Chain A
Amino acid sequence: MKKSWIPVFLLWLLFTVLGLLLVMNTTVLPAQYSEEAEVIDEAYELLEALAVPVMALIFAIMVWGAISWRSRGADREDGPPQRTSKAVVGVWLVVTISLAVGVLINPGFVGLAAVRGEPVSDYVVQLEGSQFFWEVTYPNGESALDELVVPVHKRVRYDVHSTDVLHSFWVPAFRTKIDAVPGLTTQVYITATHTGGMEDDVNLRIQCAELCGAGHAQMAMPVRVVEEAEWLAYIEGLGSDG
Chain B
Amino acid sequence: MKYVFRASVLAFIGYVVGIWLTVAIRGGSPTDEVAVVFGFILALIGWLGGIGGIEAFGRQWMGKKPKTSPEKGWTRYFEFSIDHKVIGIQYGVTFISVLLIGGIGAMLMRIELASAGQGILDLDDFNKVVSMHGILMVAVAVAGILGAFGNYIIPIQVGAADMAFPRLNALAFWLVPPVAIGLLGAPFLGSFNAGWTAYAPLSVTNDSGQILFNLAIITFGLSSILGGINVLVTVITMRAPGMTWGRLPIFTWAGVAASLLSFCVTQFFAAALILVTMDRVAGTAFFGPDVGTGLLYEHIFWFYSHPAVYIMVLPGFGVILELVPTFARKPLFAYKAAVIGMLTIVGLSVVVWAHHMFTSGMADFLHGPFMILTEAISIPTGLVFLSIIGTLWMGRLWFRTPLLLAFGWLFNFLIGGITGIFLADVATDIHLHDTYYVVAHFHYTIVGGSIFGLLAAAFYWFPKITGRMYNERLGQIFAVWVTVMFNFTFIPLFWVGINGMNRRVGDYPEAFEGANRFASISALILGASFLLFVGNLVYSAIKGPKAGPNPWNSRTLEWQISSPPPQHNFTSQPRIVGHPYDYGVEGSRYVVFDEPGSSVSDAPEEVHA
**Which residue numbers of A lie inside 8 Å of B, CB to CB?**
1, 4, 28-30, 36, 39-40, 43-44, 47, 51, 54-55, 58-59, 61-62, 65-66, 69-71, 73, 76-85, 88-89, 92-93, 96-97, 100, 103-104, 107-109, 111-112, 114-116, 160, 162-166, 168, 170, 172-173, 175-179, 181-184, 186, 202-203, 205, 207-218
Contact = CB atoms under 8 A, between A and B. Distances in A.
Contacts of B415: 55
Interface string B301-330: 000000000000000000000000000111
Contact of A202 (B337, B500, B583): B500
B355 interface: no
A212 B124 CA distance: 10
B426 A69 contact: no
Contacts of B602: none
Q: Which of B124, B126, B361 has the most CB of A within 10 A?
A: B361
B584 interface: yes
Interface residues of B, number: 100
Contacts of B127: 211, 213-214, 216
Contact of B421 (A29, A36, A103): A103
B595 interface: no
A168 B511 contact: no
B290 A40 contact: no
Contacts of B201: 164-166, 182
Contacts of B510: 202
Given A58-B389, A78-B396, A79-B395, A217 B294 contact: no
Given A36-B430, A79-B396, 15 more contacts: A40-B428, A44-B498, A58-B410, A65-B392, A71-B396, A79-B329, A79-B584, A80-B609, A83-B333, A104-B371, A108-B426, A164-B205, A165-B199, A181-B294, A209-B433
Contacts of A181: 294-295, 360-361
A62 B407 contact: yes
B524 interface: no
A76 B329 contact: yes
Contact of B608 (A78, A109, A210): A78
A214 B553 contact: no
B499 A81 contact: no
A77 B199 CA distance: 55
Closest 5 pairs between A and B when the two form their complex, measured CB to CB? A78-B584, A111-B427, A172-B500, A186-B361, A181-B294
B32 interface: no
B425 A108 contact: yes
A93 B360 CA distance: 33
A207 B583 contact: no
A208 B359 CA distance: 13
Nearest to B400: A73
B120 to A, nearest CB: 15
Contacts of A69: 328, 392, 394-397
A51 B418 contact: yes
Q: Which of A40, A115, A162, A210 has the most CB of B within 10 A?
A: A210
B379 A96 contact: yes
Contact of A170 (B376, B382, B502): B502
B396 A76 contact: yes
B509 interface: yes
B502 to A, nearest CB: 5
Contacts of B126: 217
B293 interface: yes
B242 interface: no
B460 to A, nearest CB: 15
15 contacts: A29-B498, A36-B430, A78-B329, A88-B386, A107-B427, A166-B201, A172-B500, A175-B430, A182-B201, A184-B361, A209-B433, A211-B199, A211-B504, A214-B124, A216-B127
A209 B202 contact: no
B414 interface: yes
B165 interface: no
A8 to B, nearest CB: 9
Contact of A78 (B294, B336, B421, B609): B609
Contacts of B583: 78-79, 81
Contacts of A92: 382-383, 386
B431 A175 contact: yes
A114 B504 CA distance: 30
B199 A97 contact: no
Given A28-B499, A97-B379, A182 B359 contact: no
Contacts of A208: 502
A203 B425 contact: no
Nearest to A185: B361
B367 interface: yes
Contacts of B584: 78-81
A165 B298 CA distance: 13
Given A172-B431, A218-B123, A81 B202 contact: no
B411 interface: yes
A1 B511 CA distance: 52
A76 B375 CA distance: 41
B121 to A, nearest CB: 11
Nearest to A202: B509
Contacts of B390: 84-85, 88
A71 B295 CA distance: 55
B206 interface: yes
Nearest to A172: B500
Contacts of A51: 418, 421-422
